[in-house]
Amino acid sequence: MSGNAGVPAPRATSPSYGPCVLLKHGEIFLKGHNRHCFTERLHDNLRVALRGIGGSTWIKTAQNVTVLGGQVPQEALVERARRVIGFNSVEPAQRVPSTLEEITRAAVEALRTLSAERPGRGFAVRVKRRDKQFPLTSSRMAAHLGARVLEELPGLHVDLTRPDITLAVEIDRKETYLSWTRYPGLTGLPVGSSGRALVLLSGGYDSPVAAHRAMRRGLSCEFVHFSGAPYTNPASVYKAYALARELNRSQPPGRLHVIALGKAQKQLAVAGAGRLQVVAQRRLMVRTASALAARTGAQALVTGDSLGQVASQTLANLVAVDEASALPILRPLIGWEKQEIIDEARSIGTAEISTLPDEDCCRLLAPPRASTRAGLPQLRAVEKRLDLDEVTAALLDNVQVMLPGEDADAAPEVSPGCPAPTPA
C-alpha cells in the first residue's frame, strides 16, 4: 500500500510547544505488522484535508495518536481534522515539555482558565503515561497535580465521579499533552486503505449514506449518477454534485461521472420491458457502471439498496441486478431501516440536499406496478432486442466528468435553479 500519489506535503514547520490537536487512532490500532501503511495513508488523507488552510502545519505520530499543529488557529485544525475518517476522537490540546515543573504549571493554568469560563467547581485530573520512564506513576502524578491545583485555586474541589472539568494529561518521553475537550471522530479505516469503489449515487437519502459507510471501511470512492436527460431537467445532477461535494469533505476528492440515461430508458420501454422496466434500468446502470469502473480502476460498485425497501430491492430483483454486473456490488445498507438511514444522513450532512426536489430518472417511464420478481429469462428477452454493447458504449461516450469539492471553499452552493456545476 502506498500513500496518495500527488498529495503535496503542506509546508511543514517543526513541532513547537503550545496549542496543538491530539487525534486518537480508530480501528488501525488493531492492525499488526502493516500498521504503518495504514498510518501513512491516514496522514496523507489528513494532509489533503489541510490543503488551503492558510498557514504551515506539522504532523507527528506517537503510539496510536497523531499530533497536529502549525501556525494556524487551533479551531481551524480541529475543524479540518474532524472531517478525516480514521480518528476516534479529536482533542484540542496544549503541548509542553515532559518535566514535572512544566506539566504542573500548565495544568494549573489550564484549570484556572477553564474554571473561569465554565460553571461548576468540581474537577478531575486523568493521567496516562505513554513513557514509563517518567519518574511518577500515573496515579501519583494525578494526585500530585490535583494537590497543586487545590493549593493554587482554592475555590475548586476534586470530584472523580461527576467532574465539571476533566483535565487529561498524556505523558510522552519528551512532550506532554493536556486536553479538556473531546470531539468524536469519524472512526473507521483510512480512506483508500481498502481499495477503490464506484458509488451509484442517486438523489435520495440512501446512496450518500452507503457511500459514507463504504468510505469508513477504507474505500476511496468515485461516483456515477444517471440522469433522465434529455427527458428530465438537470436538478438531479445538481443534487448529485452537491452530495458528492459533501462526501468529498471526508476523503481526497473523488470524481463524479454523470451519464444521461433517458434515451436508453426509452429503448428499454420500446423493447417491451413493461413491469420489468425498473429492474431492466438497474441492470443497465450496473452494466454501464462496471464498464466505467474498468476505466477508472474501481474494484467494486456500491449502492444504497436496503433489502425489501422498494419493489426494485426484493431479493429476487437484487439477484437479477447482480447478474448484470461484472463487478461485485457492495450494499452497506442492506440490513438498515429507513429511519436509521435518514438519521445517519442528518449526522453526515447529506439529508438536507437529499430532500431537495428533482426529477429522478427512475420515475421516468416507471410502470404503475413494478415487478417484485423479475425473471432472468424475461429480462434477457427484453435486452436481446437492444444491442447492449452499443448502448453501453454510447452511454460512456457521453459521460460528463466533474470534481466536486476540489476547491470546496470556492465552489458555488448548489441548489435547483443554480448554474450548472463546472466540469473537471
- Binding residues with ligand ATP: total (CB under 6 A): 19
287 forms bridges with which residues in the sheet?
none
What is the per-residue burial (b if ≥16 Cβ within 10 Å, else e) of 158-189?
eeeeebbbbbbbbbbeebbbbbbeeeebbebb
Contact range with ligand ATP by CB under 6 A, out of 68-76, 84-92, 241-249, 297-305: 297-305
Residue closer to ligand ATP by CB (options 193, 207) is 207
304 binds ligand ATP (CB under 6 A): yes
174 vs 236: CA distance, rounded Å = 54
CB of 285 to ligand ATP, least distance (A): 6
* 323 to 362: interface string for ligand ATP, x by CB under 6 A: -------------------------------------xxx
Q: What is the 3-state secondary structure (H, E, C) of the chain?
A: CCCCCCCCCCCECCCCCEEEEEEEECHHHHCCCCHHHHHHHHHHHHHHHHCCCCCCEEEEEECCEEEEEECCCHHHHHHHHCCCCCEEEEEEEEEEECCHHHHHHHHHHHHHHHHHHCCCCEEEEEEEECCCCCCCCHHHHHHHHHHHHHHHCCCCEECCCCCCEEEEEEECCCEEEEECCCEECCCCECCCCCEEEEEECCCCCHHHHHHHHHHHECEEEEEEEEECCCCCCCHHHHHHHHHHHHHHHHCCCCCEEEEECHHHHHHHHHCCCHHHHHHHHHHHHHHHHHHHHHHHCCCEEECCCCCCCCHHHCHHHHHHHHHCCCCCEECCCCCCCHHHHHHHHHHHCCHHHHCCCCCCCCCCCCCCCCCCCCCHHHHHHHHHCCCHHHHHHHHHHCCEEECCCCCCCCCCCCCCCCCCCCCC
- Known binder of ligand: residue 365? no
Is 45:191 a contact under the CB 8 Å cutoff? yes
**One of 312, 317, 350, 392 touching ligand ATP (CB under 6 A):** 312
* 181 to 210: interface string for Mg ion, x by CB under 5 A: -------------------------x----
- Known binder of ligand: residue 304? yes
Nearest to Mg ion by Cβ — which residue? 206
Contact range with ligand ATP by CB under 6 A, out of 62-70, 301-309, 369-377, 394-402: 301-309
- Known binder of ligand: residue 201? yes
241 binds ligand ATP (CB under 6 A): no
CB of 304 to ligand ATP, least distance (A): 3
**One of 115, 207, 232, 314 touching ligand ATP (CB under 6 A):** 207
242 vs 353: CA distance, rounded Å = 7
- Known binder of ligand: residue 226? yes
204 binds ligand ATP (CB under 6 A): yes
360 binds Mg ion (CB under 5 A): no
68 vs 284: CA distance, rounded Å = 46
Residue 361, binding choice from Mg ion, ligand ATP, none, Cβ under 5 to 8 Å by partner class: ligand ATP
Residue closer to ligand ATP by CB (options 189, 284) is 284
46 binds ligand ATP (CB under 6 A): no
CB of 309 to Mg ion, least distance (A): 5
- Known binder of ligand: residue 223? no
Residue 201, binding choice from ligand ATP, Mg ion, none, Cβ under 5 to 8 Å by partner class: ligand ATP
Identity of residue 395: L
* 220 to 239: interface string for ligand ATP, x by CB under 6 A: -----xx-------------
Contact range with ligand ATP by CB under 6 A, out of 85-93, 97-105, 112-120, 299-307: 299-307
CA distances from 144 to 107, 123, 147 (A): 11, 14, 5
**One of 136, 158, 310, 356 touching ligand ATP (CB under 6 A):** 310
* 249 to 288: interface string for ligand ATP, x by CB under 6 A: ------------------------------------x---
Name the grid cell of 226: 444517471
Residue closer to ligand ATP by CB (options 185, 204) is 204
Residue closer to Mg ion by CB (options 82, 239) is 239
- Binding residues with Mg ion: total (CB under 5 A): 1
Chain contacts with ligand ATP (rule: CB under 6 A) = 200-202, 204-207, 225-226, 285, 303-305, 309-310, 312, 360-362
> Which residues line the annotated binding site?
200-201, 225-226, 282, 304, 313
> Which residues line the annotated binding site for ATP?
200-201, 225-226, 282, 304, 313
